[in-house]
Chain A
Amino acid sequence: MNVLDYKNSIRIFKKDWKTSVRRKEILAIMSIFPVIFTILLPIVMLIGIIVDPNAFLSSFGDPTLLRTILQIPPHYNDALAGAIVVIRMIVLPLFLFIPGMMPIVISSDSFAGEKERKTMEGVLLLPITKTELILGKVLASFIPSMVISLVCFLTLGVIVNMMLLSYLDGIILFFSDIPIMLVGFILAPFWALLNIQISVIISSRAKDMKSAQSISGALVTPVLGIMLVQIFNPAFLTISTVLLFTGFIVSLWLLFIYLSNKLLDPEKLILML
């Protein structure tokens, strides 16, 4: 049994950070996606609340029913209730595109990019184990994705509170909501890890980065869409359901860790060069 030398994984992570994450194409995607999904679209939604809070809340259904289902505190005015509805039903699913898509962009480059640039064999000839190599590649996608996701999540919270400042009346939105915090700090990291693990397997089997990206994207995007639409209906977002869903994601992630160790064969990586 080989002992995992995490330092080797850190070295792979640092190298990937310099060689792929810092590439202009990847940096461009990493900047545009978060701005669209966590700043522009939420701002557009929140403008609707500011213009006419009552009409906005009513557009989602019977306001009284919505307040009951979402357990919105009775002292929350229509603007704040509308904000809760928007955050849970639209803004959070949009936010989850960040930890869902960012890692795919980076991890598609991990093995496929090395193959494309003909550097794969040099890496495989280093004195490291397969597990150390995979861990390094996962970290290279996970760390930047999570940093961006957390920044986006916190920015989102600040934007919500800033835009509804005149309606707050001493109440803090977003950061005081436990299910929302669980989504940002528990579900999002595991969601990113699952996507990375799937993407790493695809990247190891794809001939080049573009095909790896399109296969990963094609595989993950619809799943993401369907799941999120189903899950983030107003009644779903409770502490127990978020934890349960996170547990499901973690199980899938562990399954894909096992699969990636089985499927990722240095021999295949070399022969596909």
Chain B
Amino acid sequence: METAIRLENVVKIFYNKKNKKFPEQKREIFALGGVSFEVNKGEIFGLLGPNGAGKTTTIRCIAGILQLNSGKIYINNQELNRSTAHKFRKNLGFLTENHGNYENLTLHDNLQFFGSFYTLDNLEERIDATLKQMGLLERKDMKAGKLSKGQKQRLAIARTILHDPEILFFDEPTAGLDPSASVHVRNLILELKREDRTIFINSHNLEEVQKVCDRVAILDLGKIKRIGEPSELGKDLWDTQELKCSLKDPISSEISATLSKLDYIKRYKIEDKNIIMYSDNIDEVTPRIVKELVRLDANILEVRRTVHSLEDIYLKLMGEEQPR
């Protein structure tokens, strides 16, 4: 698979001015402490992390507006440096955390300004098409300041995709949006993926990341804690896996006694008509457990393997820390 973005041991340090009131305060802040990862072409890659983890700094480094202290960044296998970064930005689209629209310009003028920096043959047609895609065409001549929050975000997305960039960066794309606007943005991201674009999402919205991302990296205090597909991310985080069986009738003493003798079940607990069992390899033992329950004439209503959500994985990795 081709690589769209590659970060190799990227270090970014911010320097604080000496604070006379708090001389003990750190002067060097490691925003990124040796971050390495790859984003494949055509995938949606999510960077998850709490506030201050270094997510926005990562995007700004890739955009070439922050100077790296060390490490390398490659875009389409070409090394990025700050003096030529503006050339790379021709093929990139950025949705910043603040929408960044000019509120006293119309939607058309906003798009015309941003679109004029790219070599586009038919800018006016593109403006109309993009506004239509965002459901904003009828507001084309309205001042951006008069739009609702969701519409402002859609205008910012229109700006991001107007020049048809290969790689898109979305920094907290649904932050502050109501549920229906969030769904619209998520659908749009999936639509862009179908157009074979590479999409990089920064978010602390776990549900959003789980729904749209092909792969996810968890960033905390400037370091990548884990990287992989959302479903695989937490595989080795828990020592046992969980299987829940719901029966029609209360659990009999015979079932309970049999379960206690099965050596492939590490432990189990009974909650009313449900049995929750823990094993090292739940995929392998599930058919055997079901067979055993059938042999004992148990009326099975449902067998469900508990899949750890991204939220469980995230909280586990963050050590369920207090908010910072």
Contact = CB atoms under 8 A, between A and B. Distances in A.
Answer yes or no: are A and B bound together in one complex.
yes
Interface string B111-154: 00110111000000000000000000000000000000000000
Contact of B109 (A18, A117, A267): A18
Contacts, number: 64
Contact of B96 (A11, A125, A127, A267): A125
B89 interface: yes
Nearest to B98: A118
B118 A127 contact: yes
Interface residues of B, number: 28
B66 A126 contact: no
B94 A117 contact: no
Contacts of B102: 15, 18-19, 117, 119
A128 B100 contact: no
Given A15-B102, A121-B96, A127 B14 contact: no
Contacts of A263: none
Contact of B103 (A14, A15, A117, A126): A117
Contact of A127 (B83, B90, B159): B90
A270 B65 contact: yes
Nearest to B59: A125
B65 A266 contact: yes
A6 B138 CA distance: 34
B177 interface: no
Interface string A253-272: 00000000000001100110
B202 to A, nearest CB: 13
B63 interface: yes
A271 B14 contact: yes
Contacts of B84: 2
A73 interface: no
B273 interface: no
A128 B117 CA distance: 8
Interface string B222-263: 000000000000000000000000000000000000000000
A125 B117 contact: no
A184 to B, nearest CB: 34
A44 B113 CA distance: 46
B324 interface: no
A124 interface: yes
Contact of B65 (A8, A14, A119, A124): A124
Interface string A1-37: 0100000100100110011000100000000000000
Interface of B: 14, 60, 63, 65-67, 83-84, 86-87, 89-90, 94, 96, 98, 100-105, 109, 113-114, 116-118, 159
- Closest 6 interchain pairs by CB? A122-B100, A118-B98, A127-B89, A127-B90, A125-B94, A127-B86
